Homo-oligomer: A and B are copies of this chain.
Amino acid sequence: MSRFTVERMREHAASIFQAGLEAVEPERCVRRFVRLEGKRLLVGDRAHDLARFDRVLAVGAGKASPRMGLALEDVLGDRLSDGAMNTKYGHSVPLRRIELTECGHPVPDQAGVAGTDRILDLLRGAGERTLVLCLISGGGSALMPAPVDGITLRDKQETTDLLLACGANIVELNAVRKHLSRVKGGGLARAAFPATVVSLILSDVVGDPLDVIASGPTVPDASTFATCVEILGKYDLLHRVPAAVRSRFEAGVEGKIPDTAKPGDAVLGRCQNLLVGNNGLAVEAARKRAEDLGYHTLVLSTRVEGEAREVAHAYAAVAKEIATSPRPVSRPACVIAGGETTVTVRGAGKGGRNQELVLAGAMDISGWDGIVLFSGGTDGTDGPTDAAGAVADGETVARADAAGRPAAEYLENNDAYHFFEALGDLVITGPTGTNVADVALVLVGEGGGSKENRFPKSLW
């Protein structure tokens, strides 16, 4: 009997996903790159001589940052002088030296402003003999609100809302927001100058663009005040944004106030940015586990974006190819894809991008033998649900049909949660405390099998 029955493959998928999650646990990510060796702090391929520093501070923000802090406190012990970080409500862990502030996400609040002030206060005392360790993770942008002088949090929010209403893209939004912040776009590194800054970054953004993750508090910014004026002009918003915003941008263009940090700026000269975890790490660990389970593996990409139900078609196309040919990888096969899809919500149902992807994929593979689809968010929270994602096979749609739950209607209504809940096919991990976007799995058993090859062999 094959070791790759659909039932076993469903268990395998859960195990493969779990291996991915474990690889990106915040503590593990920090420990993998940060080590104390005598008086030297090894961070990635660099060594920092602790004898050169009077103080070692830990700052940062993000949903996974407290757990990164746990590992850092463990590694540094007494060498850590002080620390201040912001995280989302409910995301605290017991830290000894780092003061945690819980605050609003995704909408920033005054608690976030107060916490960020605390972080900036701490950095104000940083000098040449200070080492600042900055722990950055997903959510860090909203969790470190720090409007520049003369601009209120409400001004920032209003400007953001106007841009969103005009259909501005995320690059445009970020450019404008960085120019209204004391922290984003290298602002945190500037605040810490002339200290040595080591930024440990857990990436939740596809492609790991360091200037985008948490809005790049220690990373140079490619946009300028002129960019901002251009963007506001493009959407005819120059005279609709709060007057203080326009004044600031105009003063910036005239060179009266300094722009965000640029590549080569002295304020970034003592700054090391190190990616300590990303989707690729989870995907590689998943691949390794799949290989250990006996699958031939193929990682398609760690950068998959696009409408979830359409991406599902692509995965199903690969699954069917494997089931009916030796391409692109021989059976039993596990294809792994990372990234983050989106859902254009049209219905009134409940779901998330991973669940919707698996629902659409289930329709494509309906009636096929030996194929399992799985997709999950590494944070354990897919959309506004308590599930990380869902799993499906060739019988899923028929099982749901028999229970009076037509897949097409549930998909139409963006109601994947209730579709899979009734089948017992939600993937529930609970919040994982980390986030490196999503991992999708396509498993194809040894036999492969197509409902299309239903003609007697003798006909061929």
Contact = CB atoms under 8 A, between A and B. Distances in A.
A455 to B, nearest CB: 6
A91 B210 CA distance: 56
Interface in A289-326: 298-307, 310-311, 313-314, 317-318, 320-321, 324-325
A81 interface: no
A101 to B, nearest CB: 28
Interface centre among A314, A325, A327 (most CB of B within 10 A): A314
Interface in A36-55: 44
Interface stretch (A5-13, A268-276, A371-379): A268-276
A222 interface: yes
A460 to B, nearest CB: 6
Contacts of A211: 455
A456 interface: yes
Contact of A303 (B305, B320, B339): B320
Contacts of A305: 313, 317
Given A271-B459, A452-B207, A455-B220, A318 B306 contact: no
B313 A328 contact: no
Nearest to A364: B305
Interface in A178-219: 207-211, 219
Contacts of A454: 222, 263
A280 interface: yes
Contacts of A273: 455, 459-460
A339 B324 CA distance: 14
Q: State the copy count for this chain.
A: 2
A50 B62 CA distance: 78
B300 A210 contact: no
Interface in A232-278: 263-264, 268, 271-275
Interface residues of A, number: 49
A186 to B, nearest CB: 11
22 contacts: A207-B324, A207-B450, A209-B452, A210-B455, A263-B455, A271-B459, A272-B460, A273-B459, A299-B321, A299-B328, A300-B300, A300-B321, A300-B328, A301-B327, A302-B327, A303-B317, A303-B321, A306-B314, A307-B307, A307-B310, A310-B311, A314-B314
A44 B460 CA distance: 9
Interface string A19-63: 000000000000000000000000010000000000000000000
A53 B166 CA distance: 74
A207 B304 contact: no
Chain A interface SS verdict (over half): mixed
A370 B165 CA distance: 36
What 8 A-B pairs have minimum CB-CB distances, sorted nearest first? A310-B310, A306-B313, A301-B321, A301-B317, A314-B314, A303-B317, A299-B327, A304-B317
A302 B321 contact: yes
A298 to B, nearest CB: 5
A302 B450 CA distance: 14
Nearest to A298: B328
Contacts of A274: 460
Contacts of A328: 298-301, 328
Contacts of A321: 299-303
A454 B262 CA distance: 12
Given A302-B325, A306-B310, A307-B307, 15 more contacts: A207-B324, A222-B454, A273-B455, A275-B460, A299-B321, A300-B318, A301-B317, A301-B320, A304-B314, A305-B317, A306-B317, A310-B311, A314-B314, A317-B337, A328-B328
A29 to B, nearest CB: 16
A178 to B, nearest CB: 16
Interface string A324-364: 11011000000001010000000000000000000000000
A363 B362 CA distance: 30
Interface string A122-163: 000000000000000000000000000000000000000000
A219 B455 contact: yes
